[in-house]
Amino acid sequence: MDPEVESVVPILLKKTGEANRFINDQAIKAIQAMILHASEERCLSSLISFADNKSASIRGDTAKLINQCMKKMVWKLLCYI
C-alpha cells in the first residue's frame, strides 16, 4: 500500500468534501484503513499536504485523520519503551 499512498490520499480527501454522505463516509473509512496498514510517515506527509485546503470540511476531516495517524505513531513509540 505504501507506494500508492501519495496518489490515493488526494483523491479520497476530495471525496470527503462531497455532499453525498455515503461517499464521504466511505472515503474516510478508506483513509482510516490506510493509516492502519501503511507506514505512518507516508500517510502523515500525504495528509499534511491537504491541511491548507480551501474547503473547511476537507480541512476538518484532514485534521481528524492527522490526529489518528499521530496517535498510531505515539502508540508505537510507547510500545517500544
> What is the per-residue pLDDT across 23-55, written as a single tens digit (0 to 9) for each?
999 999 999 999 999 998 999 999 999 889 899
The CA distances from residue 21 to 3, 4, 17, 66, 75, in Å, are: 28, 25, 9, 21, 31
Look at 31-35, 44-48, 59-63, 77-81 and tell me which has the smallest mean pLDDT. Answer: 77-81
Percent helix, strand, coil in the chain (nearest 5)?
Answer: 80, 0, 20
Q: How far apart are the first and last CA of the chain?
A: 27
Kindly list the structural domains of the chain, giving each domain's residue range(s) and its CATH number in brackets, ordered by start: 2-80 (1.25.10)
pTM of the complete model:
0.88
Angle at 60 between CA 23 and CA 78, to 5 degrees: 105
